[in-house]
Structure 1
Amino acid sequence: MVILPRSYGPLPLPASPAPAVPVAALQPSITHLANGVQVVELEMADAPVVCLDFWSKAGSRLERPGESGLAHFLEHMVFKGSRSLGPGDFDRQVESLGGSSNAATGFDDVHYHVLITPEGAAEALDLLLELVLEPRLDGDDFAMERQVVLEELSQSEDQPDEVVFQTLLSQACPGHAYGRAILGERAALEDHQPEAMAAFHSRNYRADRCCLALAGPLIGLGLGERLAAGSLARLSRAAAEPIPDDLTLAVGRCHLEVPRLEAARLLMAWQLPPARDHEAVIGGDLLTTLLAEGRRSRLVARLREELRLVESIDLDLNVLEAGSLALLEAVCESEQVEAVELEIHKAWRELMEQPPEPAEFLRAQRLVANGYRFSLESSGSVAGLIGSHALWGRPLELEHPLESLERWTLERLHSELVPLLNPDRAFTLVALPA
């Protein structure tokens, strides 16, 4: 599975008012194995399943020249087996334990997770770590899986919306990994060999470049003792790797005609602070929510509900380690594109001249807060959250985002973040049906 930039917008609000367990009561603990691997755990006694989530700094941003697509291709090959697991054995054994598994490759990292009943957690953990840390990378399987990846690439290239989005990223992030497709380039994929993949795995799946997140009813499972004596504790550390450069977004615009595109698209990309600036990320979430989350948000209310210029308009915050992206997409008729763009510029100027009303600000604040709270109700989403944060050294206190949200006043949002969404600072792409 490929994931594009992570979007941390608020979730739809359910009917219930709040989770049963206060956020402050859900605090993860972190330990280090003898070799330095971080293990972060959160006890969720009432959760029905345990989530085992292995994270590694091995996304497509870490690919060297000539390694295009290896991060995602390796994710595929991991599931083809290990020293004692043949193709399909891992899935069959996890399913026989009553669990399920999945994985995702992003620009910055990759993670593999298992959802399992507490009774099967220990065995599933052994299976997961063997699979991820000791992939076989068999030559015949490699050739077969290459065709699967190439077919996935072909399907992506055949989807008009995917073509538009990838064009936006490549034009807005020239020369940076965020501008290149996670799936990779066809010519490079056709040339890759198992030895190159093994080198990528050896370089990136190392003790100081990975962590394990555990969430769910963990008490009494003995997972800590198992980890201390297992393959994760034997993982060696890597030589220091240079960190790829931070993103510098290009400012400009381009036009694109796309066959089979059903309606025109206006896309705009702005650079916002990177994930490590967690308070700014919370502020960015608040601002993008105020502008385009729900019918009462400023852009949706004006362009869709009042003027009826667009079929839809979305503004998502995509949190990335080298620099986050605010990505706007408006879907409209071709003859309305210019009017839509003018209204977006007008909305920003109005917001610069006059801060939002307190009720508007409080609505966005409530949506962000509740979206975060409800994301803490399942062990899978919690393990993903604490795993990502531990991997990249971000705060693990689960109340931290809510405390940061409280520090964002209407005046501070207006002075610090609204200027960053100046349309003149954006890369703009107009895509029209061919």
Structure 2
Amino acid sequence: MKEAPLTCLDLWFKAGSSNEWPGEEGIAHFLEHMVFKGSNNNDAGEFDRKIEALGGSSNAATGFDDVHFHVLVPPKVVAPALDLLLDLVLQPALLPSAYAMEREVVLEEIAQQNDQPDEKAFQKLLSTCWCDHSYGRPILGYKKSLKQSTPEQMRSFHRRLYTAENCCLSIAGALPQNIDKLIEKSLLSQLEKSSKPDLATKTSTNIPFQKLRQEFEVPRLESSRLLMAWPIAPAKEQKIIMGADIATSLLAEGRCSRLVKHLREDLQIVETIDMDVTSLEKGGLILLEACCREENLDRVEEEIHKILGESINSFPKKHELDRACHLVRNGHCFNLEATSQVAALAGAQTLWERPQGLLEPLEYIDYWSGSKLKDEIFCQLKPELSCTLIAKPSEVES
């Protein structure tokens, strides 16, 4: 937008919750909080005030695999914004007084999450299907680990993972002509490689997956849930991920999709039914969630198995496949409308060593014919290959 140009500076690190060592559970997300509580050159709150004075905004997010911090500013103030961002992230003060106060904030976040019945059911699915793997832990971590943590422990985590080989700076939008020189003179040029690379940052597809069917009760759950998960290839296998996106769109996106039409529109035995793909660096999941009345659970499960069986044993019709591909293509493009979205995609792709054009992933759509979807994706969605959890409401607090 020429009338309102913006530049997004997005700083990424391979320092998500899956990189935590035993006893560090939750420290990756806690560090994201602490970064904003002051640095070597700025007191707590000063970064936000200065970025806002430049006409910008900031945000951050911690995931299983990585963490990123971004600022969105007018292009004429990229230089001071870059200095502020790098000082904030690379030189956090981690003062004991701020540490103790912010820990209470994070502990309250955990308490709020644990108080959400839907969140408890979903976390139960992750911890069950992924067994003891770090992906099965909540990103927010555990109260016990956080209460026992110290600023020095966090400083050690920062030194171990906020290093040159784990870092990527992504810039999108209106770019200053001297951007290369600005980076050369910045703190990034002083960022050193770790003398002891962290083994947790190396990708591996050897993630345990538990196939089972289990029922459990969740206090105050409004509707019963049928949750199903299947393992999927790691994020680097982008062709497979694209196929999974097409398959889940065909099955459960919109009123015309197979599961929604059959269970919600025709039989009217579910309140909602959704499918999604969780794509992660060490291996992801295809997830299905159906919400319904408890007395309909058996029928819902039976009909889901029926639709999945039909998908496994027959090709999708051409109009179904065309519609699903259209939805996936539109979704990818719509997720690139904002400068921050462009920076985030480019940053994540580059961080994990698969840089490519923003629209290049769309080329994988053409690979997926009906027969290939049937043979390579739907065949993996057999009920007996899933981790299936049945969540029922309970009147008794656990």
Q: Does TM, normalized by the shorter one, top 0.5?
A: yes
Other-structure match for 1:359: 319
Q: 128, 135, 150: which is aligned to 1:171?
A: 128
Matched, 1:411 2:368: no
Other-structure match for 2:255: 295
Contact 1:312 1:331 in 2 (8 A): yes
Question: Secondary structure of 1:396's match?
Answer: coil
Shift of 1:47: 6.9
Aligned positions of 1:126-165 closer than 5 A: 126-165=83-122
Other-structure match for 1:204: 161
Other-structure match for 1:217: 174
Contact 1:47 1:378 in 2 (8 A): no
Other-structure match for 2:186: 230
Other-structure match for 2:228: 268
Contact 2:75 2:176 in 1 (8 A): no
Matched, 1:372 2:372: no
2-structure distance, mates of 1:426, 1:255: 14
Q: 227, 239, 243: which is aligned to 1:283?
A: 243
Report the residue type matching 1:360 in the other structure. Answer: E
Other-structure match for 1:29: none
Question: Which ranges of 4 or more aligned residues in structure 1 deviate by more than 6 Å?
Answer: 44-47
Other-structure match for 1:421: 381
Report the residue type matching 2:270 in the other structure. Answer: V
Matched, 1:96 2:53: yes
Contact 1:46 1:217 in 2 (8 A): no
2-structure distance, mates of 1:185, 1:390: 31
Other-structure match for 1:26: none
Matched, 1:251 2:207: no
Contact 2:78 2:176 in 1 (8 A): no
Shift of 1:46: 7.9
Q: 340, 356, 377: which is aligned to 2:300?
A: 340
Question: Secondary structure of 1:330's match?
Answer: strand
Shift of 1:248: 2.5
Report the residue type matching 2:165 in the other structure. Answer: D
Contact 2:312 2:381 in 1 (8 A): no
2-structure distance, mates of 1:290, 1:146: 44
Other-structure match for 1:386: 346
Question: Secondary structure of 1:236's match?
Answer: coil
Other-structure match for 1:52: 9
Contact 2:243 2:373 in 1 (8 A): yes
Shift of 1:398: 2.1
What whole-Å deviation, never above 9, does each CA across 1:215-255 have from its counterpart, x for those lacking one? 001143x2221111110110000122223653222101221
2-structure distance, mates of 1:233, 1:410: 49
1-structure distance, mates of 2:110, 2:117: 13
1-structure distance, mates of 2:4, 2:127: 42
Of the structure 1 ranges 188-197 and 245-254, higher mean CA displacement relative to structure 2 is found in 245-254
Distance 1:267 1:419, change over 3 A: same
Q: TM-score, normalised by structure 1?
A: 0.88
2-structure distance, mates of 1:195, 1:219: 38
Q: 143, 146, 151: which is aligned to 1:186?
A: 143
What whole-Å deviation, never above 9, does each CA across 1:17-56 have from its counterpart, x for those lacking one? xxxxxxxxxxxxxxxxxxxxxxxxxxx9787311110000
Question: Secondary structure of 1:104's match?
Answer: strand
Contact 1:45 1:217 in 2 (8 A): no
What whole-Å deviation, never above 9, does each CA across 1:102-135 have from its counterpart, x for those lacking one? 1100000001111111122221111011100000
Aligned positions of 1:300-319 closer than 5 A: 300-319=260-279
What whole-Å deviation, never above 9, does each CA across 1:324-349 have from its counterpart, x for those lacking one? 11111111000111111111110011
Distance 1:46 1:236, change over 3 A: farther
Question: Secondary structure of 1:64's match?
Answer: coil
Unaligned runs of 5+ residues in structure 2 are: none
Between 1 and 2, higher relative CO (CA 8 Å, sep ≥ 6) is seen in 1
Other-structure match for 1:9: none
Q: TM-score, normalised by structure 2?
A: 0.96
Shift of 1:176: 0.3
1-structure distance, mates of 2:259, 2:209: 23
Report the residue type matching 2:168 in the other structure. Answer: C
2-structure distance, mates of 1:159, 1:395: 38
Contact 2:51 2:58 in 1 (8 A): yes
Q: 46, 62, 65: which is aligned to 2:22?
A: 65
Question: Secondary structure of 2:215's match?
Answer: strand
Shift of 1:291: 0.7
2-structure distance, mates of 1:58, 1:47: 33
Other-structure match for 1:431: 391
Question: Secondary structure of 2:22's match?
Answer: coil
